[in-house]
Structure 1
Amino acid sequence: MGFLFILIYFVLIFIVLEIAVMLLVVTGLDHEIARFQAVSMLTSTGFTTKESELILRHPVRRKIGVFLILFGVFSLAVMISTLSNVLAQSFRVPQLIGVTLGFGLVLLVTKNKRIVNSLKRRFHKHLKQEFELHELPIEEVLYFTGSDLFTRISICKGSAMAGRGLRDVCCPKEDINVLFVQRGETKIRSGCLQLALQEGDILFVYGDKEAIERRFRGELDAMRQEEGNEKHVTEL
């Protein structure tokens, strides 16, 4: 009976994990990232990747994360206690089956497309009403349409942009807004359009995706090539 309890509890953990993944996806997180981060929080592994910032910067995702961490710690205690008393305890299997079936029903509900779309609208409305602007993730504040983009542009060695004035690079008629320029350890926001660009400068730009990619095509290609080289070296 004890081993049956453990088996059912593992099923319960899986269902809770899937519910958390679906809720994270509803908030706008990619499914693979949501699953990895949910497992990380449930097991208290604590991977310190850039993806974890997607959880920390989002108020709703943080609440889901807190629940997963607490549930994971509780489940670990249950497993240890169960294994140590597997031959002596009287397990309440019927009650556990009921709880597991209940969570299973919740999982089926969260996978319904109509309900998922409704939850997305509710979460988005909740974010607008309950949280200050600085608490919201960038995509909730800046991304109005699928064509919007917020990114960084590195002025690499040999770039045609080096030596040119930033005002000349970003034509006022184009939907490209330079929020600030990072030069070494210094972040320049006030009067950044008056700067003459230098190799190594990093521009943080926001605007139309096609316009940004068209204007900074060479720099973006160089950045992708550099990232590809770094990945290749890491694999070696």
Structure 2
Amino acid sequence: MASLFPIISLLLVIVISLMVVRIATVALVLTGLSHQLAQFQARSAFTGAGFTTSESDKVTQHPVRRRIIMLLMLLGNAGIVTAVSSLMLSFVGSGEDAGANSWWLRGVTLIGGVAALWFVSQSVWVDRTINRLVEWALRRWTDLEIRDYSNLLHLSHGYTVVEMVVEPDDWLTQKDLGSLRLSEEGVLVLGVERTTGPYLGAPRGDTHLQPGDVVILYGPNEVLANLDEREAGAGGNWDHHRAVDKQLKTQAEQKKEDAEATAATAS
């Protein structure tokens, strides 16, 4: 029986490795990745393959996903499989050779164990059951970011979210959001954080901006950069009108492209 300890330990390490990759895959899926991409990235990180693809940016730019990948790399580089296997195999090396029967038994046990693991890993029912258990456990005992807001908001496609402090001489100061008409520039106000008072999420048009307020804005990079430097007065109003005209032209071009795409599809 002692001769089977290395084989049993090796199979146990394989099971643990598969479970680690499975847990990481489900965790990545919970952050918004597709299951196929999450599985690929988890296996790559655990084995140290180091694949560099365009999809890898979705992992490296997301703080929660980075932590998952870093943990996988740490576990993989720790050499768990080699360390545990070598430790258990050392007991066999110190004993006497039990003969051909012992080697035959080890071979059958190893092949049978690997085959059983392969069969279990290919079972759809087992796969769904394990995924549900892992997902439940992760939701129950972890605080994963469920959605990838960076990709949902297309922050890498010319759009961004910024926190802008309202200064006394800013174009924004002492005005209602409705009168600013920021939406006409393609800018959405997500929230207003005041030095005194509660946080205002999705503020209404009658929200009055005061010096010291922190405004959370979403929109094109260029427009937000101009808005941050826009000063009160006629110059600021002129910048606003130019930004509105540019947004109208952008929307007209987009409508034209959509109409051409629709016509091409219909034909």
TM interval, short-chain normalised: 0.3 to 0.5
TM-score (norm 1): 0.46
TM-score (norm 2): 0.42
Decide which structure has the larger Cα Rg and report it. Answer: 2
